[in-house]
Structures are given as C-alpha cells and as structure tokens.
C-alpha cells in the first residue's frame, strides 16, 4: 500500500510542486488501520471522486482523489505492485494514457479503474 508521502508526491508530480493534498489522503485512508488493505473497498471508487467534488468544489482535491484511487489500484499485486506503481503512473502520463491534471477540467472516469467509460460532469453539477 502506498504511503501518504507517496500519494502526496504523486499530487506534486501530476499537479505541480506545492499541490499536495494530505487531507484527501487522510480521508480516503481513514479506515486503513481498522480494515488494513480491505479499506480500499470503501472510499476507493468513482463515487469517491464525485463526492470529493460535491463536498469541496475543489478541483485539486478532486484530481488528488482520482490519482489516489488509481495509485492504490496499481499498487495491488494483481496490477503492477507497490514497487512499480509510481513509475507506471508517470510512464502512462508520459505516453498519454494517464490524464494530465487540468484545473479547467474534471478527471475522466477511466474504465480500467472505475468501470465504464467517460462521465459527463455536467450531469452531476
């Protein structure tokens, strides 16, 4: 499981230095001490990304939640594992298969991680 420091580093890699969102990672992992790796069954889905927007109206927190869920999914042994998850995210960003943060756009719902295709954020606003 990636540490909060690793998640904050992803925030800075994808959204720029100084844009880490520690409160997002605290919230998403709030049940980790109780549920261990099973905590990912709660707050680690598309609805969590939507909730982050609806509750905060903060685009950086929304993207941070998006990246958090993807990093945790990639860190699972059935994906690429925790030793390669950051490198895979950066590689996917560089090859265009991982969305780049845009403060004017909401993150897309990637079927690989969230099921289904793109989401129309206009419908949820």
117 HSE (CA, 13 A, CB side)? 1
Nearest to 24 by CA among 118, 13, 59, 34: 59
Beta carbons of 33 and 1 less than 8 angstroms apart: no
Nearest to 46 by CA among 103, 101, 120: 120
Q: How confident is the model at residue 30 (pLDDT cuts 50, 70, 90)?
A: confident
Q: Residue 125: is its pLDDT beyond 50?
A: no
* Tokens standing for residue 18: 């100084």
Percentage of the chain exceeding pLDDT 90: 61
| 55-107 residue pLDDT tens | 999 999 999 999 999 999 999 888 898 899 999 999 999 999 999 999 999 99
């Amino acid at each position: 499981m990636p540490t909060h420091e690793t998640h904050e580093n992803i925030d800075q890699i994808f959204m720029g230095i100084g844009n880490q969102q520690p409160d997002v990672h605290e919230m998403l992992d709030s049940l980790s001490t109780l549920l261990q790796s099973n905590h990912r069954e709660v707050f680690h889905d598309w609805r969590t990304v939507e909730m982050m927007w609806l509750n905060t109206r903060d685009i950086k927190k929304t993207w941070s939640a998006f990246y958090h869920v993807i990093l945790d999914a990639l860190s699972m042994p059935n994906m690429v594992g925790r030793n390669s998850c950051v490198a895979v995210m950066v590689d996917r960003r560089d090859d265009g298969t991982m969305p780049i943060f845009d403060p004017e756009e909401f993150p897309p719902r990637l079927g690989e991680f969230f099921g289904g295709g793109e989401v129309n954020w206009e419908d949820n606003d």
